[in-house]
Structure 1
Amino acid sequence: MKAIWNNTVIAESDDTLIVENNHYFPAESIKKEYFKCSDTHTSCPWKGTASYYTLEVDGKQNPDAAWYYPEVSELAKGIKGRVAFWKDVTVEK
């Protein structure tokens, strides 16, 4: 699977995990040069507290377009160490 934004592959892996219709990519599969830490955090009742990345490709930014859970609940342990996308990021084969 590939995550694409601004005509650029920002993550690629054969090992994604689908949770709530989102592909969670292993953290080592993201192209870190396109990811900037964000101060945004949200809470999910069953997964825990999410942290976000802002994507930056060719001078364009997509704020908080990727998220991950630094610490996960027991129910969501499968997504620990994984990153998911939204906000116009396309995930395809």
Structure 2
Amino acid sequence: MKATWNGAILAESDETVVVEGNHYFPADAINKQYFTDSNTHTTCPWKGVASYYSVEVDGQVNKDAAWYYPSTKEKAKNIEGYIAFWKGVKVEA
């Protein structure tokens, strides 16, 4: 699987985990130069508290375009630390 936005490959992995229709990429599969920490947090009743990254490519910022769960609840341990995308980021094989 590959995650792309604005012509850049944000992440690429053969070992994504699909949860609720979203591909979660292992942390070592992302191209860190495109990611900056965000202060945004949301809570999922069964996964836990999500943290977000904004993505920047060629001076364009896609705020909170990626999220992850740094410390999940028990039922979501398989995606702890994995990164998923939305807000126009294409995820395809």
Q: Same fold (TM over 0.5)?
A: yes
Question: What is the one-letter code of the residue matched to 2:58?
Answer: D
Question: What is the one-letter code of the residue matched to 2:71?
Answer: E
The number of residues matched between the two structures is 93
Equivalence map 1:72-83=2 (5 Å)? 72-83=72-83
What SS class does the counterpart of residue 41 from structure 2 fall into? strand
Corresponding position of 2:13: 13
Q: Distance in 1 between matches of 2:59 and 2:13?
A: 25
Corresponding position of 2:27: 27
Q: Distance in 2 between matches of 1:58 and 1:26?
A: 24
Q: Distance in 1 between matches of 2:28 and 2:15?
A: 11
Equivalence map 1:54-73=2 (5 Å)? 54-73=54-73
Q: TM-score, normalised by structure 2?
A: 0.99
Q: TM-score, normalised by structure 1?
A: 0.99
CA positional deviation for 1:7: 1.1
Q: Distance in 1 between matches of 2:45 and 2:72?
A: 11
- For residues 2-59 of structure 1, the C-alpha deviation after alignment (integer angstroms, 9 at most, x for no partner) is 0000011110000000000000000000000000000000000000000000000000
The structure 1 segments of at least 4 consecutive aligned residues displaced by more than 6 Å after TM superposition are none
